[in-house]
């Protein structure tokens, strides 16, 4: 009996040691399996649009700047604003000295009066000269008419005397009937003298009349081109405009006001100095708003187009606006991105960023980008498939070639037909794997 008990105890101990050994080997086997078999997570194909996000850093700038003008040569008494200050339409920006305004008004009025007096004197001289010319012309015309009449009478008398002399010659010739030629010759000589006197008188009359006509022409008013009065009128017109502006400044008690709501961007006057011909202030115009200007890498230009909606972030504020322009810089490395902003809500000169989101077309088969591997001119994924092995049914990784249509930083769009909704694609693994390797899903326990 004792021997049987000892044998039973021996076998019980041996069996216990066997169970312990089996337990240890199981633990060791599981540990070894855990060390050699990759743990993976899987994902199935899904439908989505690929998104591309681009961030552009930049600043808030003025979109349009206007000048605040006033009359030149006026003494600045006070400046009421500083650069960067926001003002409203009608706010007083500066005040000008009233004494200097009156001084300029008096100066311009004196200049205007001087030109008017010169024009009055010139007009009086012109009228006096015109009257004198008219008198000379009238006298020249009278002299010409008298001379012409006198010459006509003298020529008529000389012609009559010539005709009488000719008639005497004829009568004498008939009377003598060929005898006493000496007396006929004497009469003929007298007639010739009459003819010569007549022609001499005729020629002298023509000479005298031509001289009288020249006297008339000389007495005609001269067509002198004198633009001095027209030039003076232009100067007087400009002086009147300047005076009107000065009178308006005087009426406002020398105050220079903001023409629009905006921000002061430049001050070009100082207290105690006189204003120049250019503007006294520069300021933005709220009606035109502000603008965001940033630089985008040229390689990212494909993600942005004019008219795209972007989100501008600045100091905790944000605004959705559209891209108004894209411009390549000289280096061709960056793209200047401009977007218009409302004037209120942003500060001139502050830094800001623009977030741009672009979406592709909708793809029916997309997978995590980490699941896609690159080979020699090929792309592939690993699928988890159940297969019968000597160890029983196991999860095995199998390589599957795919065609990538498009990808972003997170997902890849694949050509349809290779994968289906039941496909289990390895999206993450704790170690390198190859086709045919056993794998374990991370979600499984034990």
pLDDT tens for residues 278-287? 889 999 999 9
Phi-psi region of 261 (alpha: psi -120 to 50; beta: other; left: phi over 0): beta
Residue 68 forms beta bridges with which residues?
A: 281
pLDDT above 90 (res 243): yes
pLDDT above 90 (res 30): no
Give pLDDT, residue 224: 58
Mean pLDDT of 198-209: 86
Give pLDDT, residue 109: 93
* Cβ atoms of 430 and 437 closer than 8 Å: no
Give pLDDT, residue 446: 39
> What tens digit of pLDDT does each residue of 391-423 get?
678 889 999 999 999 998 899 999 998 888 888
Distance of CA 43 to CAs 312, 360, 382, 387, 424, Å? 35, 21, 11, 19, 6
Could you tell me the two tokens for 322? 């559209």
Mean pLDDT of 208-230: 78
Give pLDDT, residue 18: 65
Residue 266 forms beta bridges with which residues?
A: 282
Report the C-alpha gap between 246 and 105 in whole angstroms. Answer: 7
Secondary structure, 3-state, the chain: CHHHHHHHHHHHHHHHHHHHHHHHHHHHHHHHHHHHCEEEEEECCEEEEEEEEEEEEEEEEECCEEEECCCCCCEEEEECCCCCCEECCCCEEEEECHHHHHHHHHHHHHHHHHHHHHHHHHHHHHHHHHHHHHHHHHHHHHHHHHHHHHHHHHHHHHHHHHHHHHHHHHHHHHHHCCCCHHHHHHHHHHHHHHHHHHHHHHHHHHHHHHHHHHHHHHHCCCCCCCCHHHHHHHHHHHHHHHHHHHHHHHHCCCEEECCCCEEEEEECCCCCCECCCCCCEEEECHHHCEEEEEEEEHHHHHHCCCCCEEEEEECCEEEEEEEEEEEECCCCCEEEEEEEECCCCCCCCCEEEEEEEEEEEEEEEEEEHHHCEECCCCEEEEEEEEEEECCEEEEEEEEEEECEEEECCCEEEECCCCCCCCCCEEEEECCCCCCCCEEEECCCCC
Neighbours of 414 (CB within 10 A): 25
Mean pLDDT of the chain: 85
Give pLDDT, residue 58: 92
Return the higher-pLDDT residue of 36 and 407. 407
pLDDT above 90 (res 160): no
Rounded to two decimals, the pTM is 0.56
Query: How, if at all, do strands 439-441 and 38-43 pair?
Result: parallel
pLDDT above 70 (res 220): yes
Give pLDDT, residue 390: 67
Range name among 22-36, 76-90, 238-252, 305-319 with the lowest pLDDT average: 22-36
User: Helix 181-219 crosses helix 98-176 at what angle (to 10 degrees)?
Assistant: 170
Residue 6: partners with Cβ closer than 8 Å, 6 or more residues away: none
> What tens digit of pLDDT does each residue of 302-323 get?
888 888 888 999 887 888 899 9
């Amino acid at each position: 009996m004792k021997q049987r008990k000892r044998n039973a105890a021996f076998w019980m101990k041996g069996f216990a040691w066997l169970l312990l050994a089996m337990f240890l080997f199981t633990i060791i086997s599981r540990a070894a399996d855990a060390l050699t078999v990759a743990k993976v997570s899987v994902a199935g194909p899904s439908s989505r649009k690929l998104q591309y996000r681009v961030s552009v850093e930049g600043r808030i700038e003025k979109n349009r700047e206007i000048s605040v003008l006033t009359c030149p040569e006026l003494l600045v008494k006070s400046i009421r604003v500083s650069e960067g200050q926001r003002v409203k339409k009608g706010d007083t920006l500066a005040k000008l000295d009233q004494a200097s305004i009156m001084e300029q008004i008096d100066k311009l009025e004196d200049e205007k009066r001087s030109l008017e007096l010169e024009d009055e004197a010139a007009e009086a001289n012109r009228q006096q000269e015109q009257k004198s010319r008219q008198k000379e012309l009238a006298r020249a015309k009278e002299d010409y008419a008298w001379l012409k009449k006198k010459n006509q009478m003298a020529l008529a008398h000389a012609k009559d005397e010539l005709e009488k002399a000719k008639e005497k010659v004829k009568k004498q010739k008939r009377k003598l009937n060929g005898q006493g030629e000496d007396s006929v010759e004497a009469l003929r000589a007298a007639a010739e003298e009459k003819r010569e006197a007549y022609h001499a008188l005729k020629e002298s009359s023509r000479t005298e009349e031509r001289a009288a006509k020249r006297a008339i022409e000389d007495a005609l008013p001269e067509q002198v081109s004198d633009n001095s009065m027209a030039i003076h009128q232009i100067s007087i017109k400009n002086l009147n405009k300047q005076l009107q502006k000065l009178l308006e400044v005087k009426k406002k008690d020398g105050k220079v006001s903001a023409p629009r709501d905006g921000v002061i961007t430049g001050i070009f006057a100082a207290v105690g100095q006189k204003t120049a011909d250019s503007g006294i202030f520069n300021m933005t115009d709220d009606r035109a708003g502000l603008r965001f200007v940033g630089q985008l890498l040229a390689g990212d230009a494909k993600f942005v187009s004019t008219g795209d909606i972007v989100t501008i972030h600045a100091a905790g504020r944000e605004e959705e606006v559209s891209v108004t322009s894209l411009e390549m810089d000289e280096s061709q490395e960056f793209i200047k991105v401009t977007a218009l902003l409302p004037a209120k809500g942003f500060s001139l000169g502050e830094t800001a960023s623009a977030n741009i989101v672009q979406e592709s077309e909708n793809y029916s088969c997309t997978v995590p980008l980490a699941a896609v591997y690159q080979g020699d001119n090929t792309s592939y994924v690993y699928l988890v498939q159940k297969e019968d092995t000597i160890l029983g049914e196991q999860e095995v990784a199998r390589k599957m070639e795919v065609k990538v249509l498009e990808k972003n930083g997170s997902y890849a769009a694949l050509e349809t037909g290779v994968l289906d909704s039941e496909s289990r694609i390895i999206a993450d693994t704790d170690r390198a794997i190859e086709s045919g390797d056993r794998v374990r899903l991370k979600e499984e326990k034990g």
